[in-house]
Structure 1
Amino acid sequence: MTYPCADYALRTDESFTNMADESHHHEGPHPFIGSSVRMVSQFPLDYMHLVCLGVVRRMLHIWLRGPLNFRLPASIVERMSAKLLEMRSFIPVEFARKPRSLRELDRWKATEFRQFLLYTGPVMLGTFLDQNMYYNFMLLFSGVAILVSPRLSCHTQYARTLLKCFVSHFGEIYGKDQIVYNVHGLVHLAGDVQLHGCLDSFSAFPYENYLHKLKKLIRKPEFPLAQIIRRLSEIRIMEAPLSCTSFKKPHYVGPIIGGLSVKAQYGEMTCDKWTVKVSTGDNVFVIGNDICCIHNIVECSDGVYVVYKEFSDKSLFFDYPFNSDYLNIYKISQTSDSFKCVKVSELVVKCTVLPHRDGFVAIPMFHAF
């Protein structure tokens, strides 16, 4: 079944309760009739399945295994896989998985499709895809990036416009028969964000990620639910409150800014929001309005500081469907000569920095971890 038209009147809680669409309610009243459950607004779409496991996987299958007029040559696919593998060492520790080869596409998890959509795909695909196909992908990336970001998700109308353009453009490129339920569902995603908050406020990712922890609590096949409840109760009783910040890799080699009363220096610090390191992959953050590279973590008598250098060469990464600075995405290449320092609390957001041609692309982390 396909959905080539996006201009139908939307169902509402009231129209559903009144069974206005007779063909939809041909079997009579629904089981929740008379309850306080709102049958439309309280059942939002889950972007883990709709977007990541749905649309993104469909696009990759078209490029790798679809009709010949859209299928990429094997040599291009090999180069794309090599590029993904090259990016592995640049992926921050917050990501559950590193990029894998496209040869392993059938074993990719939802988090890998999300990583491809929001981070690795926009950086690498411009080199390998036809411009129309790349621009189409960028419409999807831009709309989802806005809706997944707690800071930008208030711009639902703009995201809705971008995703509607994507669906229309997707049908023009790949054929109307490709506008299946998942692709059509994108036009309703912004409405759910308007009601419930950014996409990670109601996605299935937290539940999927917790399943492996629950599985480890089960020791035998009988009464799995009772085992889980007992183990969780024991954990709550025995667990001591932990410090929200921990330090690793102490050293004495600097750099240090004059005027700091230094107690200790570290190469790694983990806090509630993210992990800060002085090594590649976890050392680039936004501080104020600048993209900065962390060179040292310093514990002082009045708090914890980071010593950093700003990236002095910063430019737009893309200009379609809008300029990349709207999402705080930039091409960066070299840092300034002078060191600066600031308290750790001044770090705004961590960046994923990926190699691109003769420099790098810095993308702030949009989604929740």
Structure 2
Amino acid sequence: MDLKKWNSVKRSGGFKRKVKNNYNSLQSRTLIQSDRAQAGSAENRKGSVSHLNARFTNQFNQNSTIIPCSSFAEVEDSCLFSEDDDSYSSSENEDNVDKIDTSTKNDDFRDHYKKWAIDFNITQVALKQLNVILNKRMPCIVPLDPRTLLKSKKEIQIIVIDDGRYWNNGLIECLKTILQYLNDKPKSISLNVNIDGLPLFNSSKHQVWPILCNIHEKPNVPPFVVGIYEGTSKPSNVSAFFHPFVSELQELMSNHLKIASEDGVDTLIEVKVRAFICDSPARALVKGVCNFNAKHGCLKCTVVGEYSHKSHTVFFPKTDCPRRNDADFRSKKYGCHHKYDSPLLALPIDMIEQFPVGDSLHIIDLGIMKRLLIGWRDGNFGTLITKWPTNVIEKVSQFLLCCQMPKEIHRSVRSLKDLSHWKGSEFRTFLLYLSYVILKDVLDNAAYHHFLLFFSTVTICTSETHFQLLPVAEIMLKQFVDNYGKFYGQEYITSNVHNLIHVVEEVKRFGTLQSFNAYPFENKLSLIKRMIRKGNQPLQQIANRLLERQYNIEVENLINDTNHNYPTIKSYKYGSKLKTVIQLESFILSTDNGDKWFLTNNNHLVELRSATCNEGHILIIGNRIENLRNDVFETPMKSSYLNIFVIYENEIKQTEAIYNITDIKCKLVSVSYNSNIYFAPLPHTFKK
């Protein structure tokens, strides 16, 4: 027996019991021999002891192996051990089971420890110090070097492109890594592609241009990084920048994606490109056309802009120009619109239709809504009829700070004083849930009804429930653009305002505004920026962090999240009140003020009071509002067509009623203002 096995055996409980039994047995024999010695001669005593020693020595030589020992006690233990003994076999099996169980627990600990380090972006310096502390308490539980734990790559392959550097993560490899975790593998997938610039530091021009993708059929799968360009400006050699991506995409679109399975049968998945979702500068870079602020900058129609010395911008006064098409674009029939040949021309895609301009983050939230709020507050439009005085600005700010949003809206809207720091989601919250309430009191009546054209159209385009109104929405949005100059100045009909006339067409093609906006990609960009820990070699740092993550952590989290059975109900005491929470697949209902209102399939307005579970079915006990529900506005259409209502807070009449979960049509956002309660639906909660 070797030393390693001996050290393991001698610590087992079975071995210790065997040693104790043998010791007691020898002690008894010694006492017997001692009694016999007292009755016999000294020579007989000597022979008896010699016979015993010889017998024991022979047994040791036949059944044991000499083991290097550090003390006499270890020699004694080894002499009392026999490999052929059944009691040792039992103890060895027990010890092996204990070792396997301990090893499994240690592996699980290291996996959880690694996941924690990646999720919270723990630096390697901090992780190394923590590893030292852990190993002092539990020796060898984790590697001392964090690079071993995180499985960091020793070398990152970087491609030099002119003045920049490019790291290719691989489209095919990314898709295989993600899809292998999904149990229900789709027969075909369509990719949304995003290209955008991301400045890294405030004190330098360093920036990265990642190529991001997500799978449209799997909206909960986070976007993944295909490749990243890093330099002091945008990629100057667009062909070299896109070459690895285009090559892999051509292979996928021609031969499909092959996913190996455990049973040895390969799965072929068809791969298509759905849309390139970018902001205006990135769209111009990708397509090889002039910029959005050029006179021929519209990507959808052949309108020619005019330069204004008043607004110092190019504006587009016409809305009825001929549309561009893919064939003419590839034939370069649009003259000044073209700058260079895009590498994407090698792909079988529509160079006009698959480049939407209606990304709601950039054109609506950070575009029109932000421009209107800044113009109303600062009065920097061409006309001053919509300029707010100081008391109105304060009134609007107080209203915004007092509004309580439901839990699905994670970011509260701040004061107008912080308008320059608002995020896109704050502009979206203001537009969909707050604007129609407060603007009625602070805008000129004509300007308010002009704004409602924009508001109603966006509301229609955010939910498939309202898609039967899309022809009306197209007319309203055209009226909004045509009359924009009357309220804000003709020279302020910039690219964003003009592109609104193309939004409804894209909604008809792609679906709701949420299905082709850049919000998921912007979240990924913020994650990429947090991966940089110092100024040296930022591209290598990002590549290392992404490879350590290996996507499986995000996808495994997604799989765990999708394994829940909804709906669920939970009740608990919060102070002196009993709180009830109903968790549905895409939203929650609770007795909290911001989450207690919902609309039924019969258009009943209901306030949640409590809920109970009866034979596996959740029953909702609520107060049905019996008041006459009024329309908030009647032009350009009745607000009730959009499920938007107002009731008088002091005259509410309620009747207790019981509903099933299936009776819920959508969750409502409630806003109290001037003794009225306004209700608007959460678009994503409509029953599909």
The alignment's TM-score, normalised by the length of structure 1, stands at 0.88
Report the equivalent of 1:354.
671
Q: Which moved more, 1:334-343 or 1:307-316?
A: 334-343
Deviations 1:62-115 (A, max 9, x none): 11112444321011100111111121x2x1110021121111101100001111
Report the equivalent of 1:85.
401
CA distance in 2, matches of 1:346, 1:99: 31
Deviations 1:12-43 (A, max 9, x none): 22221232222323x45443334312110000
Is the aligned partner of 1:43 residue 2:355?
A: yes
CA distance in 2, matches of 1:299, 1:336: 27
Q: Partner of 1:285: helix, strand, or coil?
A: strand
Report the equivalent of 1:318.
633
Report the equivalent of 1:300.
614
Report the equivalent of 1:184.
498
CA 31–243 in structure 1, closer or farther in 2 if over 3 Å, else same:
closer
Q: Does the CA-based 8 Å contact 1:13-1:40 persist in structure 2? A: yes
CA 226–82 in structure 1, closer or farther in 2 if over 3 Å, else same:
same
**1:30-179 equivalence runs, <5 A:** 30-45=342-357, 46-67=359-380, 68-87=384-403, 89=404, 91-179=405-493
Report the equivalent of 2:662.
345
Q: Does the CA-based 8 Å contact 1:156-1:191 persist in structure 2? A: no
Q: Does the CA-based 8 Å contact 2:587-2:685 persist in structure 1? A: no
CA distance in 1, matches of 2:323, 2:684: 28
Report the equivalent of 1:255.
none
User: Partner amino acid for 2:647?
Assistant: I
CA distance in 2, matches of 1:143, 1:103: 28
CA 297–117 in structure 1, closer or farther in 2 if over 3 Å, else same:
same
Percent of pairs with identical residues = 29
**1:136-285 equivalence runs, <5 A:** 136-211=450-525, 222-231=540-549, 232-236=551-555, 240=560, 242-245=563-566, 246-250=568-572, 267-285=580-598
Is the aligned partner of 1:17 residue 2:312?
A: no
CA distance in 1, matches of 2:356, 2:685: 18
Structure 2 gaps of 5+ residues are: 1-313
Q: Does the CA-based 8 Å contact 1:117-1:141 persist in structure 2? A: yes
Name the structure where helix makes up a greater proportion of residues.
Answer: 2
User: Partner amino acid for 2:513?
Assistant: L
TM-aligned CA deviation for residue 227 of structure 1: 2.2
Q: Partner of 1:350: helix, strand, or coil?
A: strand
CA distance in 1, matches of 2:608, 2:424: 31
- Root-mean-square deviation (CA, aligned residues, Å) is 2.6
CA 298–82 in structure 1, closer or farther in 2 if over 3 Å, else same:
same
CA distance in 2, matches of 1:51, 1:123: 19
Is the aligned partner of 1:331 residue 2:652?
A: no
Q: Partner of 1:36: helix, strand, or coil?
A: coil
User: Partner amino acid for 2:600?
Assistant: I
TM-aligned CA deviation for residue 154 of structure 1: 4.7
Q: Does the CA-based 8 Å contact 1:311-1:332 persist in structure 2? A: no
Report the equivalent of 2:26.
none
Deviations 1:325-360 (A, max 9, x none): 110111123554431111223211000111132221
User: Partner amino acid for 2:344?
Assistant: F
Deviations 1:301-348 (A, max 9, x none): 231121111111111111111111110111123554431111223211
Pairs aligned (count):
356
User: Partner amino acid for 1:52?
Assistant: D
CA 69–131 in structure 1, closer or farther in 2 if over 3 Å, else same:
closer
Q: Which moved more, 1:95-104 or 1:10-19?
A: 10-19
Q: Partner of 1:156: helix, strand, or coil?
A: helix
User: Partner amino acid for 1:329?
Assistant: I
User: Partner amino acid for 1:56?
Assistant: M
TM-aligned CA deviation for residue 215 of structure 1: 6.2
TM-aligned CA deviation for residue 367 of structure 1: 5.0
CA distance in 1, matches of 2:345, 2:529: 36
TM-aligned CA deviation for residue 149 of structure 1: 1.3
CA 64–342 in structure 1, closer or farther in 2 if over 3 Å, else same:
same
Q: Which moved more, 1:354-363 or 1:333-342?
A: 333-342
CA distance in 2, matches of 1:10, 1:299: 56
CA 82–266 in structure 1, closer or farther in 2 if over 3 Å, else same:
closer
CA 244–190 in structure 1, closer or farther in 2 if over 3 Å, else same:
same
CA distance in 1, matches of 2:654, 2:456: 34
TM-aligned CA deviation for residue 235 of structure 1: 4.9
User: Partner amino acid for 1:320?
Assistant: T
Deviations 1:189-238 (A, max 9, x none): 01111111111110112233455566677778653234234323245458
CA distance in 2, matches of 1:18, 1:326: 45
CA 240–360 in structure 1, closer or farther in 2 if over 3 Å, else same:
closer
Q: Does the CA-based 8 Å contact 2:385-2:487 persist in structure 1? A: no
CA distance in 2, matches of 1:97, 1:48: 15
Q: Partner of 1:297: helix, strand, or coil?
A: strand
Q: Partner of 2:622: helix, strand, or coil?
A: strand
Deviations 1:267-323 (A, max 9, x none): 112221101101211000011211111111212223112111111111111111111
